Amino acid sequence: MTTTKAARAPTGRQALAPGCSCSTGRPPAPPARPARPAGAGGTPGVTARPTSASGVARAEAPAASRARQTGPVKPVLYFAYGSNLDRAQMRRRCPTAAPIGPATLDGWRLAFGGHSRTWGGSVATLLRGPTDRVDGLLYRLPPVELRALDLHEGHPSCYRRRRVTVTVRPGGRRRKAHTYVQPIALEEPPALGYLTVLWRAYRALGFDHQPLLAAAVGGVS
């Protein structure tokens, strides 16, 4: 009499997933653990989640750890010297940008050049001037709005964003900030509407209009 051996169930990589022709590569799931008995605040028939000494479920620890590593988004500083001196325009472009106050940029001078289709003429930029300085307004804004400002300013094809050191007034505190510089080959008078926006902003902020007028006529003071 021949004894027939019972077929052995596949294990390990031989275990097939339901409805799939390839192996799962995982062994079968272990049997479920029995329910934790009542006691120490437990509920009959319910498996309690392990907790830390503080009573917080350990399963939540990885998420909390990631949150601590990421942390809050740190705002950045932006130095405006052109049409973004206009608070209404800046609110449209960067709704949560907060003005810190007037600031000056040493070693540069205001100039006008290039051509803006929006304004129909030349717009503001910065040129090196060892004995010069430019008045502007320092803003604090989130990085996502700085990236939005990149689009408005045409960075990096038109204006190029760069880091500069400005002096905040009053107080004289030195701060690192982003600003935009447009490379130009020739200084030209600005578009009239653009110059009007800057003139009004200078008046509202109490800036000296002489550097603005000098830049508007091509840097001749």
State the Cα–Cα distance between residues 198 and 211, nearest whole angstrom. 12
Residue 68 confidence (pLDDT) = 53
- Residue 98's pLDDT band (boundaries 50, 70, 90)? very high
Residue 70 confidence (pLDDT) = 60
Indicate if the pLDDT at residue 185 is higher than 90: yes
Is residue 208 helix, strand or coil? coil
The pLDDT tens digits of the residues spanning 161-179 come to: 999 999 999 889 999 999 9
Residue 72 confidence (pLDDT) = 81
Structure tokens at 89: 């325009």
Residue 218 confidence (pLDDT) = 82
Residue 170: asked if its preceding bond is cis (omega within 30°), the reply is yes
What is the residue whose two structure tokens read 């007028």? Answer: 213
State the Cα–Cα distance between residues 89 and 95, nearest whole angstrom. 10
Indicate if the pLDDT at residue 9 is higher than 80: no
- Residue 47's pLDDT band (boundaries 50, 70, 90)? very low
Residue burial 58-78, b: 16+ Cβ < 10 Å; e: rest: eeeeeeeeeeeeeeeeebbbb
Residue 170 confidence (pLDDT) = 87
The pLDDT tens digits of the residues spanning 121-131 come to: 999 999 999 99
Structure tokens at 12: 């390990």
DSSP state, 16?
B
Indicate if the pLDDT at residue 32 is higher than 70: no
Residue 25 confidence (pLDDT) = 37
In terms of pLDDT, which residue wins out, 32 or 204?
204
For range 88-110, the mean pLDDT:
97
State the Cα–Cα distance between residues 126 and 105, nearest whole angstrom. 10
Q: What ranges do the domains of the chain cover?
A: 76-208
State the Cα–Cα distance between residues 221 and 214, nearest whole angstrom. 5
Structure tokens at 211: 């550097």
Structure tokens at 56: 């917080």
For range 95-102, the mean pLDDT:
97
The pLDDT tens digits of the residues spanning 118-160 come to: 999 999 999 999 999 999 999 999 999 999 999 999 999 999 9
Pick the CATH number of 76-208 from 3.90.226.10, 3.10.490.10, 3.90.850.10, 3.10.105.10: 3.10.490.10
| Beta bridge partner(s), residue 139 | 78, 99
- Identify whether the C-beta of residue 113 lies closer than 8 Å to the C-beta of residue 185: yes
State the Cα–Cα distance between residues 194 and 25, nearest whole angstrom. 67
- Identify whether the C-beta of residue 162 lies closer than 8 Å to the C-beta of residue 179: yes
Indicate if the pLDDT at residue 97 is higher than 60: yes
